[in-house]
Amino acid sequence: MRPARLTGPGASVAAGVGDQAPVVLVAHGSRDHRAAEATRALARAVEAARPGAVVLPSWLDHTDPGPTEVLCGLAAAGHAEAVVVPLLLTAAYHRRVDVPAAVAAARAAASELSVRVTDVLGPADGSVDPGLLAGLRRRLAEVEPGGVDALVLAAAGTRDARARASVGRVAAALAAEFAVPCTVSYASAAPPTADVAVARLRAAGARRVAVVGYFLAPGLFHDGVVAAARSAGAVAVSGPLTDAPELADLVLRRVDRSVRT
């Protein structure tokens, strides 16, 4: 038996409505309610950026619905295809294991549904998307740090060396854009922490160090980065990307690229 039709966001999805495949955003999930609201806000921003698009949020953990439930609901509503966008900044465990598992479960339950999975929002094919950099610039400008002589890119953290290398590419791109040193810090899983990174730059002579939050949504990790960075003397800490227009545009370009490949 197919799952019941979805309720809540995207409940108006019906068979044969529009020519665009529905887009399913897949976020990590958090116990912090602010994170779920950020994902919903991004879904609304993507829909606003492309009139007629159906964009549904889902979460791998802590918040319902999960991506398998959303995909099965689309199949039950008569859709033949869907595009899954992992709301992740690195292609680490969640992209390699959790997202494919959720898609495989949906395909097993609704074999008539064709599902495409896009690249993550972080560097793909070794390149940093200009829209991602523009979103990070926007969030930094919002905290008005003025001139800076060094930056710290503060990420959530991962044990995956390839994923850390992709964060490093973003830091290098920011360094080139601002013409100042930019180092990486992590909230978990890998050193250094934000306070250590800020302190090292200050010890090396930097007087105005700003921290760029490499996060999609608020939560415990970002809160910890803010506290740690400020304790070490950072002049500013930018907020998560959430529903920045540059991020909504990047989501749509990931969708479009998945259609062409």
The confidence score (pLDDT) of residue 94 equals: 77
DSSP codes joined into one string, 110-177: -TT-EEEE---SS-BTTB--HHHHHHHHHHHHHT---S-SEEEEEE---S-HHHHHHHHHHHHHHHHH
Residue 190 and residue 214 in contact, taking contact as beta carbons nearer than 8 Å: no
> How would you write the pLDDT of the chain (261 residues) with one tens digit per residue?
233 333 333 344 443 344 689 999 999 999 999 999 999 999 999 999 999 999 999 999 999 999 999 999 999 999 999 999 999 999 877 788 899 999 999 999 999 999 999 999 999 888 999 999 999 999 999 998 789 999 999 999 888 899 899 999 999 999 999 999 999 999 998 899 999 999 999 999 999 999 999 999 999 999 999 999 999 999 999 999 999 999 999 999 999 998 876
The confidence score (pLDDT) of residue 125 equals: 81
CATH 3.30.300.30 fits 130-237, yes or no: no
The whole-angstrom distance between residue 248's C-alpha and the CA centroid of its chain comes to 10
Domain parsing of the chain, residue ranges:
23-122+244-260, 130-237
Query: Identical fold at 23-122+244-260 and 130-237?
Result: yes
Q: What is the CATH number of domain 23-122+244-260?
A: 3.40.50.1400
Separation between Cα atoms, residue 168 and residue 177, nearest integer Å: 14
Separation between Cα atoms, residue 154 and residue 229, nearest integer Å: 9
